[in-house]
Amino acid sequence: MTTGARGERGRHLPAAEAASLLRAIVAGELGLRPTGRRPFVSVAVGEWGVVAGDAEIVFFVDSASLDHVVRITAADGRQAGFGDWLQHDGENPLELIDDSERLELERLLYALH
């Protein structure tokens, strides 16, 4: 999503809220399902998506490991992507969760297939 005009800014999903969504996944509060057929572990480099509750999340994966969040569309329709977070928040949501949360998130993604 490109944010710029004042009316569009209200639609931005802040990185901190996106990180909270990732934490809710780790806590088991949201069901997960992959958006494609390819298992997470088989992704050498590229995008890989999931639906978490009513939100859609696309990760960038490198060597079957999470690199960053490409974009998220929240259940309420707000969305943001890599460039939006860098411009508005200075960080990617994946950088806002701790190492143990990140490892558990990866474990959950591995288990989907």
When pLDDT is cut at 50, 70 and 90, the band that residue 105 belongs to is: very high
SS3 30: coil
- 1, part of any domain: no
How confident is residue 16, by pLDDT bands cut at 50, 70 and 90? Answer: very high
| pLDDT tens-digit map of 74-100 | 999 999 999 999 999 999 999 999 999
Q: Cα dist. 48→3, 56, 76 in Å?
A: 24, 11, 22
DSSP 33: E
Within a domain: 12:
yes
Counting the structural domains of the chain, the total is 1
Task: Name the nearest CA neighbour of 110 among 35, 31, 42.
Answer: 42
For 56, the domain range is: 6-110
DSSP characters over 46-95: EEEEEEETTEEEEEEEETTEEEEEEEEE-TTS-EEEHHHHHHHTSS-GGG
pLDDT of amino acid 113: 76
